[in-house]
Structure 1
């Protein structure tokens, strides 16, 4: 009899587990399990499924061997399933329904009462555990085995006490107690493992889809670094067909189809459509994207079959639309930033030229009265300087070699006026001529040293321009032996415009702003008074290019 009860109950448990496996793999029910949906609709669906399993389990629980009926409480499996999936209040209602059904089909039999009592007790036990434990903890092998052993032992023990007067205790233990505990415990462990594998499969799927989304996002960002055009749109369409296994992709920008990829027969309807949102149906996804706050266009993805469009594809499409909108807005913002920066730099350069021209014309006016020949030479040098200056100002950055040519033209003009009062020395390594800097950077600083630093020096004025190689770049220094700068003006001279009758501060400020804008904060001007008298202005040029070959 032991063998018969064990085999029959094991077969029926196996059938019930197969039924549960089939039901839990129905997409809607699988979604409810993996996403832990606690809405009333999800609870109702799960409750109906579990009650059905419990009723089937109740009928399978009655086993007849040699004209004797036995009750193996197989529907304990349904109670455990409800405890793992359903909220506590609904779970207790399900347990009560399964217990009442078992009482109904075993009406008048004590075994039905004992089994129903066991269900209710088990229900309260799992319900209290659900308050303290997460679902993943309930589905662990140790916990599920404990539930199986305790519940089956509870039922078998009560049965043992009730029947011990009519049947020898050893016989009851061997024939009924052992098969019930073994089968129920094993069944609950198998069920827990099935549910755990279902959840794990979903987690793996989520991980794969997340990696896929990141991969697609990375490719999209690569395509849109330069904005949306026919080339990038075509590449995007081909990539989406490959990654999403789509039939065709069309990309519309400003109501114009700028790229198509895939099956042309599928794309035929797009060419005659004015409202692209009307194209949305069961076999395609229409993704709108924006530039700034304005709707700019659509990405239309066609699939062969409606069932290819899962929740994953819809969420990915929504995220893709947001990503493309963000990237396009970012590209436009970057273009605007570059334009504003270029406008700012050109505005600063335009302020420097009139400043130098004004000072030089004053020199010419003075020389015309006393030394007309020298005035004529200054005008020739000025013409050369202005011609070279206009040429260099067209570029944001020029080489040190070009900058020093401009400086040389300026020095020729200055030497006409200060030939007996001023010496200008230039010290530079020949290997540094390739370094870049904004045009007309050194000349305004030399001019500032002469006009203001040496203004009260009647003779032996000196300006030394030194360009040295340092770590990661070049250091440019302009020193004079003049009167220096008042301490209260040192901190603000290059950081804000300082206006006066002679314009001191505008040229230095503009040079500093252009250096910071084009080369970074490390290239800003550093101004200090020297202990031996005079002032030093220095700045740093980063090494952004490889040195030129000597061959």
Structure 2
């Protein structure tokens, strides 16, 4: 009996080793989660049927004289001999994991194989194995309904009970009867009970550990998202990116975190910060590929990262695009100095974080766009009651009424058009070129009446009047030129407004022959308020923010200036008004 016990311990140990190997396979763990589906049940039947067949093949042969024969692979045996094996263990576990269908079919397959192995003898093994599978499956189904597995004690008790069922069949139907039961009872009862409990403990412990790990990771990710929300939702700039990158590195195991916009490095925290410097253009080929394709890239070597710095310590990376409104606005870069540390867990974490941060950026842009629209509305309302603009226009019209009533009437109509277009621009994010031009011409008619022959404006448009652009786009640039480009110069002041198609985009440029822009002021234009004696300086900043909010960084304002004048240009996607939509604007 002791010899049989030791031999059976080896067999049970083999099954436990297989269990450890199995639960480390991600596909098997996914099967356990989907065990109520028929595809998963089918795969579980195949897996545990193989376990049961291996149990039969690795069993210990017992001759008619109760002599033990241990062989490596037991493919067949005389009809008078029996086998001590771990078949019942495999069937019981299959039922506990997969339910009565899985347990019953695995039991049927194991029983049939045992009969074939015994050259057609001992047919009762089919019935006993089928019954063990169904009974253990019913217990497993009851626990599955509560989304859990049996406890260690319950598994041990069930393993003991199922082996007892097998012993009853052997006692009642085997030719060896009581003599065989007396030999194998204690080793089989104890080892199959212990083996069942260990097998189920391995599964339960691993899944429980995975759930705990996910809970911890979820908590950390949620806390990380909460900490970074104020920075990403405020916009993708250097200060916010630096704060966010620092937080991300503190909450993860990465050796370095980098954040870029579509052109430049905004932040780099950790290893490699001596040459991955903010305010410099993105230099790694990996990041450039992500920005160009909008797809995540993974690098497992320095060569794949493509950093031109010879001593760069970064050896592995995950670079994920930050996407807002289906446009790549930047990248999130996560680095390791040891390529072995980059596992699928880190890859999935990086992908999830990028999705969260993209959503935070989108939220921030939506809030900013809403704020800009509100700001434009306030600006429009203020323009209607601006004493300086209003009284200048009224005084001009009043003076003309004494000398040229028709001209005064025309200016009054233009003033009405100007204010009406202002209100319309508040309600719409895009208007037609024709509507924008009417707004500009209304403004110019008032200014040119006040200052005759001071300005000459030239419109050159080679596109349809139905193309769309944000309201106040040309008007802001023209007004800015008239107020700031020419100083006190009274004559020869020229402004050209060009609108043309470039590839599949619409290019707008306003050119003047003025005095140029001060080199100290130029970097601030469109990015922050520039105070001057002739205005608050918010118009260009507002326009630039609306353009990038609607179309991305590629549509921001570009300034070229010199002693002979200034050129301000922008490029936006070409879009034409659909149907008779313009009639309702």
TM-score grouping bracket, smaller chain normalisation? 0.5 to 0.7
Residue number in structure 2 paired with 1:14 = 13
Distance in 2, matches of 1:43 and 1:263, equals: 50
Task: Give the stretch that moved more between structures: 8-17 or 239-248.
Answer: 239-248
Distance in 2, matches of 1:78 and 1:234, equals: 56
Q: Aligned match of 2:242 in 212, 216, 234?
A: 234
Per-residue CA shift, 1:100-146, capped at 9, x if unaligned? 22112222543xx3333211111232344555541755523454244
CA change 1:50–1:118 in 2 (3 A) is same
Residue number in structure 2 paired with 1:60 = 58
Give the unaligned 5+ runs of structure 2: 69-80, 277-282, 301-316, 392-585
Distance in 2, matches of 1:285 and 1:183, equals: 48
The answer to whether structure 1 residue 119 and structure 2 residue 133 are counterparts is no
Give the drift of 1:96.
2.7
Residue number in structure 2 paired with 1:96 = 108
Distance in 2, matches of 1:329 and 1:162, equals: 73
Distance in 2, matches of 1:305 and 1:231, equals: 29
Residue number in structure 1 paired with 2:410 = none
The answer to whether structure 1 residue 269 and structure 2 residue 269 are counterparts is no
Check the 8 A contact 2:262/2:330 in 1, yes or no: yes
Say what the alpha-carbon RMSD is for the aligned residues.
4.0
CA change 1:263–1:48 in 2 (3 A) is farther
The answer to whether structure 1 residue 207 and structure 2 residue 215 are counterparts is yes
CA change 1:258–1:270 in 2 (3 A) is farther
TM-score, normalization by structure 2: 0.50
Distance in 1, matches of 2:156 and 2:131, equals: 17
Q: Aligned match of 2:95 in 83, 94, 97?
A: 83
Residue number in structure 2 paired with 1:363 = none
Check the 8 A contact 2:7/2:60 in 1, yes or no: no
TM-score, normalization by structure 1: 0.53
Check the 8 A contact 2:99/2:139 in 1, yes or no: no
Q: Where is the helix percentage greater, Structure 1 or Structure 2?
A: 1
Per-residue CA shift, 1:178-199, capped at 9, x if unaligned? 4332332222222222221122
CA change 1:176–1:324 in 2 (3 A) is closer
Per-residue CA shift, 1:186-225, capped at 9, x if unaligned? 2222222222112211111111111121132123214335
CA change 1:144–1:30 in 2 (3 A) is same
Residue number in structure 1 paired with 2:457 = none
Check the 8 A contact 1:61/1:73 in 2, yes or no: yes
CA change 1:162–1:142 in 2 (3 A) is same
Check the 8 A contact 1:118/1:151 in 2, yes or no: no
Per-residue CA shift, 1:205-251, capped at 9, x if unaligned? 11111112113212321433532211222333344445443354442
Matches within 5 A, 1:296-375: 296-303=329-336, 308=341, 310=343, 312-339=345-372
CA change 1:140–1:11 in 2 (3 A) is same
- Secondary structure at the residue paired with 1:298? strand
Distance in 2, matches of 1:248 and 1:35, equals: 37
Distance in 2, matches of 1:347 and 1:341, equals: 10
Distance in 2, matches of 1:338 and 1:163, equals: 86
Check the 8 A contact 1:252/1:299 in 2, yes or no: yes
Check the 8 A contact 2:294/2:328 in 1, yes or no: no
Q: How many residues align?
A: 349
- Secondary structure at the residue paired with 1:275? helix
Distance in 2, matches of 1:83 and 1:334, equals: 55
Q: Aligned match of 1:51 in 49, 52, 70?
A: 49
Asked which structure has the greater CA Rg, the reply is 1
CA change 1:108–1:323 in 2 (3 A) is closer
Residue number in structure 2 paired with 1:25 = 24
- Secondary structure at the residue paired with 1:296? strand
Per-residue CA shift, 1:328-386, capped at 9, x if unaligned? 233334444555556666777888998xxx9xxxxxxxxxxxxxxxxxxxxxxxxxxxx
- Secondary structure at the residue paired with 1:285? strand
- Secondary structure at the residue paired with 2:322? strand
